[in-house]
Copies of this chain bind each other. A is one copy, B any other.
Amino acid sequence: MAATSRAWYFAARPEGEPDLDCFDLRDHEVPDPDPGQLLVEVRYLSVDPYMRGRMRDSESYAEPWEVGDVLQGIVVGEVVESEHDRFETGDLVTGEGAWAEHSLLDAHEVAPVDPRVADPPAYLGALGMPGRTAYFGLLEVGDPKPGDTVVVSGAAGAVGSVVGQIATLNGCHVVGFAGSDEKTDWLTEDLGFDAAINYEATDDYRAALEDAAPDGVDVYFDNVGGPITDAVFTKLNLDASVAVCGQIAHYNDEEVPMGPRKLPMLIAPRASVEGFLVGDFSGRFREASEQLAEWVASGQIEHRETVVEGLDRAPEAFLGLFAGENIGKQVVQVSGPDA
């Protein structure tokens, strides 16, 4: 195309809490797709807490971003140029792309977006990576039985909101921690959580848990860490399992955070705690996606996206994750009918 469009570049590594100085919006030349690639006009862009890890100059499960790179993330886009015969101009697809108006996607790595199943942004949330994270983390790592009490932190987030609903579908007693009454109301009134605790409205998480989870905790799906997690660990039942999905309370820490030692709490209940990454289940993504699409299409799983409009506001949307500004999945609408 040889036209130019805008993209966000990684300007500086943050120390502690990131800010707008970490990001730089610049024009770049719209690239031409190589064989096997698709050029898309980005409709929606996903911002996710794990991206904070990519801002660090250290090896981890996700490759660190280098200063000067275009920022990467999952997008939903409309194909404007296809170098793969499975896709044509006008198709809606989702895959790993860029924080940009135009992005190249690898045709072998994208999935189709079907607006008849759900609005396109859902493909960044309940029908995307967060949904699959919830699916495998809960069912394979947490592995609750009907009647179990399942507690979820970050329960009104993209992952947590799906975790709780899958647990409900599995006949569990489901308790969520979230950071506002609007969020906890959503969990209990719309999503079928049995109880939800607004952690901003109480300091005594243990007492709140006694009320909300009187039979103790069988499965804890942890997105957050910190004092919420400390409280949950005091209530673990025999053979409890803890699925460690995220620890957003600690992503901006520069020092190793301190807290109550938890290993002594694991012996009497014979509890297990396991970190996991959704990528380890990539061989079963199709199964998860089909099941999630079925649940969403039938209304058994509800989803919600918090949409920030305009590519220029993408850093703001990302930073808002750490302030808990999103309900459901945080996305950025870059273009499209209503942008």
Q: Which residues of B contact A266 (CB under 8 A)?
A: 244, 273-275
Residues 57-96 of A, flagged 1 when their CB comes within 8 A of B and 0 if not, give 0001100000000000000000000000000000000000
A334 CA to B288 CA, complexed, in Å: 63
- Contact partner of A267 (CB less than 8 A), chosen from B247, B264, B267, B272, is B247
A339 within 8 A of B: no
Chain A interface residue count, Cβ-Cβ cutoff 8 angstroms: 33
Whether, in the assembled complex, A283 has its beta carbon less than 8 Å from a beta carbon of chain B, the answer is: no
5 pairs of residues in contact across A and B, judged by CB atoms under 8 Å: A244-B267, A247-B267, A256-B261, A258-B261, A272-B272
Closest chain B residue to A242, Cβ basis: B263
Judge if A148 is at the interface, Cβ distance under 8 Å: no
Mask for A293-336, Cβ within 8 A of B = 1, else 0? 00000000000000000000000000000000000000000000
Q: Is the C-beta of A259 less than 8 angstroms from some C-beta in chain B?
A: yes
B267 touches A250 (CB 8 A): no
Smallest Cβ-Cβ distance to A269: which chain B residue? B275
- Whether the Cβ atoms of A61 and B261 lie closer than 8 Å is no
B270 touching A247, Cβ below 8 Å:
no
- Once A61-B268, A268-B60, A268-B61 are accepted as A-B contacts, the answer to whether A263 and B273 lie under 8 Å apart by CB is yes
